[in-house]
Structure 1
Amino acid sequence: MPLLEISIIPIGKDSTSFSSDVIKVVRKIKEKELKYELTPTSTVVEGDIDQLWEVAKEMHDEAISSTGSERIVTNISIDHRTDKQMDMDHQINTVQNSLK
């Protein structure tokens, strides 16, 4: 399954904290019942490519409408293997098993 890494950064707010904004956009992932993993600086989502594009757009749009920021920077990275099956768990397990 393709993986989407997304980071949405509101700019022009009165506060440097934006965890409440993260909660609002992550709700978009939960609504679609997609598997996801929060990291300190981004969110990784697993799904088919059409789902990932759709949820990325919805997250970006939600950030624009709800954060009160005058500017939003959205960084997206997609990891899409076509030669074999892949998912978040497999990638994490591969690295962790190699560290043993």
Structure 2
Amino acid sequence: MALLEISVVPVGTGTASFSSYVDDAVKLIEKNGFNYQVTPTATVIEGDVPRLMELAMQIHQNAMSNGASRIITNICIDDRTDKQMDMLNQVQAVRDE
């Protein structure tokens, strides 16, 4: 399992708020059955890399089709091959240090 961190920044919407875009992304994540955590600046999603990449594309395209004239999508993938990884254990590992 890998972690994908994604943030979508709509540009040209006429407003500084983009919470509706986050809400739309969360609906797509839930519809596809992923475990996720919304943070103040991004959303972290657990899954296998091919499915995560497909979801990232859906989130990006959905934001583009919802009225923004430009979308900046940033993604970061954390993928380990030496052991299983999930959000809860990653956070706990930092707290245990």
CA distance in 2, matches of 1:25, 1:34: 12
CA distance in 2, matches of 1:25, 1:35: 13
Q: In the alignment, which residue of structure 2 is the partner of 1:75?
A: 74
Give TM-score, length-normalised by structure 2. Answer: 0.96
Unaligned runs of 5+ residues in structure 1 are none
Q: In the alignment, which residue of structure 1 is the partner of 2:2?
A: 2
Q: In the alignment, which residue of structure 2 is the partner of 1:20?
A: 20
Is 1:90 paired with 2:89? yes
CA distance in 2, matches of 1:77, 1:6: 7
Give TM-score, length-normalised by structure 1. Answer: 0.93
Q: Which amino acid aligns with 1:60?
A: H
Q: In the alignment, which residue of structure 2 is the partner of 1:64?
A: 64
Q: How many aligned residue pairs are there?
A: 97
1:1-50, Cα deviation, whole Å (9 max, x unpaired): 10000000000111101101110111110001100000001000000111
Unaligned runs of 5+ residues in structure 2 are none
TM-aligned CA deviation for residue 69 of structure 1? 1.1
CA distance in 2, matches of 1:90, 1:97: 10
